[in-house]
Amino acid sequence: MPITTCVFDAYGTLFDVTAAARAAAAEPGREALAKKAGELANIWRLKQLQYTWLRAVSDAHTDFWDVTQDGLDFALEATGLTDPELRERLLALYWELSAYPEVPDMLADLKSDGLSTAILSNGSPDMLKGAVDSAGVAEFLDAVLSVEDVGVFKPHKSVYDLVGKRFQSDPKEVLFVSSNGWDAAAAAGYGFTTLWVNRAGDPVDRLPWRPDHIAADLTGIPQLAGGL
């Protein structure tokens, strides 16, 4: 069954989650942040993800913006950067995350090939709109799907169900792409063909399922989708 629909995770996959810390660190007077920007960005992202998992398994769902703020607060304290003004600046920049360089052309190529495209994300609708608009890729997306429609974070099955409901597609028609190895693995278990964007060269997660494909970036997605 050929691929008809390409679905992407948002944060870390299409949009660079380290961009907020990096941009803030480049601003005048941010010398303390500049020394710890990479560490802060990594802790922020890790805690953001951990809080989604913990809330999902404990049936304590909240908006992704809440866990984003909670993750940042942990990261700021862990790095000794507890500055209220810096906190507000980082949160503001998170609404303006840049896309990875290959994203616009890759999405445009998929659309030229006649494929449907979408985002499927833990992000709330308003956060996702901010990221999509900031990156200038709205014209290349047929849908932006948020877990807020089901009230639980990934990798709950009901999140992946949103794709079939929107596109009336069989899972085998979907190529799902994520920078999170656990997300690509869980989506493979669901029945999607999956690609893990492993920019850091990390080991494969020890889970019951594995991503079907692994790549260092998104450049080859159109060719892969066309060949499946």
In the set 9, 16, 183, 212, the catalytic residue is 9
Of 48, 68, 94, the one marking the end of a domain is: 94
Cis status, amide bond into 155, omega within 30 of 0: yes
Q: What is the pLDDT of residues 25-68, one digit of tens each?
A: 999 999 999 999 999 999 999 999 999 999 999 999 999 999 99
Nearest to 87 by CA among 103, 99, 75, 97: 75
Q: What is the pLDDT of residues 166-177, one digit of tens each?
A: 999 999 999 999
Answer whether residue 1 shows pLDDT above 90. no
Could you tell me if 158 and 180 lie in one domain?
Answer: yes
Q: What is the pLDDT of residues 82-127, one digit of tens each?
A: 899 999 999 999 999 999 999 999 999 999 999 999 999 999 999 9
**CB-based contacts of 82: which residues, under 8 Å, 6+ apart?**
76
- For residue 228, what pLDDT band results from cuts at 50, 70 and 90? confident
Catalytic, 9? Answer yes
Indicate which CATH number applies to the domain containing 62: 1.10.150.240
The pTM of the whole model exceeds 0.85: yes
Distance (Å, rounded) from C-alpha 131 to C-alpha 123? Answer: 10
Per the structure, how many domains does the chain have?
A: 2
Query: Sign of the CA dihedral 58, 143, 96, 103?
Result: positive
Give me the helix-helix angle, 125-135 and 64-79, nearest 10°.
Answer: 70
